[in-house]
Amino acid sequence: MISVGIVGGTGYTGVELLRLLVTHPKVDLKMVTSRSEAGKLVADTYPNLRGFTEVYFTEPDVKTLSTCDLVFFATPNGTAMKMVPELLEQGVRVIDLAADFRLRDAAEWQQWYGMPHACEDVLAEAVYGLPEINRDAVRTAKVVANPGCYPTAVGLGFLPLIENGLIEDQHLVADAKSGVSGAGRGANVAALLCEASESFKPYAVEGHRHLPEIRQTLCGISGHSVGLTFVPHLVPMIRGIEATLYAVLKKTDVDLQALYEERYKNEPFVDVLPKGTMPETRSVRGANVCRISVFQPQGGDTVVVSSVIDNLVKGAAGQAIQNMNIMFELEETAGLNRPALMP
């Protein structure tokens, strides 16, 4: 059994992590920390976990966390980097669901997140945890930077095209939409039901924090810099991301359907839909899967890819557990092989 601790168990990604871990066949959930809820039974805060765990929230403490094999951080940006170095010294492995270790360049991290990085040496050794690209590196990683939700949907959608040099990669477009849970559990007027319902809007068009992360991933695939316009939108639903991706093909006689099916045929959590099928966010709700469709409208030189995920699962907690399974040489699907919730 893997002894696991969670730092920050009260946000949406934290409770999703709990929901998945409490039924994982190889996990002993040892501790869940929260300064605000310390002393309370986890199942009292989240009654959906009644009967699944008797763990209490505790204050975050490196000494007690050091008794775990693995610690997940489901905390705000800037928290994990202050605690991780000491945990690593104690031999604990770490998966951070925030952004502290996603960007390899510390100066770029400070530019986008507004604070200096607290442990640049750890940043240099962290592995970006998109298994479909970095599975081998994740196996031996001490620190895994769990990808963001938008970067997961966009990266997996563009991957086969860029990998094979099939598109003009200086003018890529990612038009993405997310449910309001992506904004987190904190009080936020824009995420209130009365504000978000019956509305649909773009945001952070000038530059979203996930933009440099997406660019870093795409540049890593291509081996050179790429041009990307990324526009996120808020839609009136709780969970889900749909990313519509656009690019210009270098040649039009490629069987794109076969290309995607071949690239992802051995990936347990990427589902390439039959030709002509339209992905739906409801088909991935609660599931650790990315469903993808690829289109070539009118047989022209434009390729359109639609990629859907649950932002809290494949876009956060589920992918983190997928990375844990890889790190500890478990079946990659352990604790994650469950269908989406419908309706």
Over residues 250-266, the pLDDT tens digits come to 999 999 999 999 999 99
- Asked whether 80 and 126 are in contact (CB, 8 A), the reply is no
Q: Where are the domains of the chain?
A: 2-146+316-327, 150-309
- In the predicted model, is pLDDT for residue 187 greater than 80? no
- The mean per-residue pLDDT over the stretch 101-115 comes to 97
| CB within 8 Å of 258: residues ≥ 6 apart | none
- The mean per-residue pLDDT over the stretch 71-95 comes to 97
Q: What pLDDT was estimated at residue 189?
A: 86
Q: What pLDDT was estimated at residue 204?
A: 95
3-state helix/strand/coil string of the chain: CEEEEEECCCCHHHHHHHHHHCCCCCEEEEEEECCCCCCCEHHHHCHHHCCCCCCEEECCCHHHHCCCCEEEECCCCCCHHHHHHHHHHCCCEEEECCCCCCCCCHHHHHHHHCCCCCCHHHHHHCEECCHHHHHHHHHCCCEEECCCHHHHHHHHHHHHHHHCCCEEEEEEEEEEEECHHHHCCCCCHHHCHHHHCCCCEECCCCCCCHHHHHHHHHHHHHCCCCCEEEEEEECCCCCCEEEEEEEEECCCCCCHHHHHHHHHCCCCCEEECCCCCCCCHHHHCCCCCEEEEEECHHHCCEEEEEEEECCCCCCCHHHHHHHHHHHCCCCCCCCCCCCCCCC
Q: What pLDDT was estimated at residue 193?
A: 81
The residue annotated as part of the active site, out of 149, 194, 219, 290, is 149
Q: What pLDDT was estimated at residue 190?
A: 81
Q: What pLDDT was estimated at residue 186?
A: 77
Residue (of 333, 325, 338) closest to 266 by Cα position: 333
Residue 107: both structure tokens together: 């100066």
- In the predicted model, is pLDDT for residue 246 greater than 90? yes
Question: How does 69-90 read in b/e, with b if 16+ C-beta sit within 10 Å?
Answer: bbbbbbbebbbbbebbeebbee
Active site residue 149: yes
- In the predicted model, is pLDDT for residue 183 greater than 90? no
- The mean per-residue pLDDT over the stretch 154-168 comes to 98
Average pLDDT, the chain: 96
- Asked whether 200 and 190 are in contact (CB, 8 A), the reply is no
Q: What pLDDT was estimated at residue 192?
A: 84
| CB within 8 Å of 99: residues ≥ 6 apart | 77, 109, 113, 145, 148, 209, 213
Q: What pLDDT was estimated at residue 191?
A: 83
Percent of the chain with pLDDT over 70: 100
Name the superfamily (CATH) of residues 150-309: Dihydrodipicolinate Reductase; domain 2 (3.30.360.10)
- The mean per-residue pLDDT over the stretch 157-186 comes to 95
pLDDT band at 71 (very low <50, low <70, confident <90, very high): very high
Residue 31: how many other CB atoms lie within 10 Å: 22
pLDDT band at 14 (very low <50, low <70, confident <90, very high): very high
**CATH number, span 2-146+316-327:** 3.40.50.720
Question: How does 202-240 read in b/e, with b if 16+ C-beta sit within 10 Å?
Answer: eeeeeebbbbbbbbbbbebbbeeebebebebbbbebebb
- In the predicted model, is pLDDT for residue 125 greater than 90? yes
- Asked whether 332 and 32 are in contact (CB, 8 A), the reply is no
Q: What pLDDT was estimated at residue 136?
A: 98
Over residues 204-237, the pLDDT tens digits come to 999 999 999 999 999 999 999 999 999 999 999 9
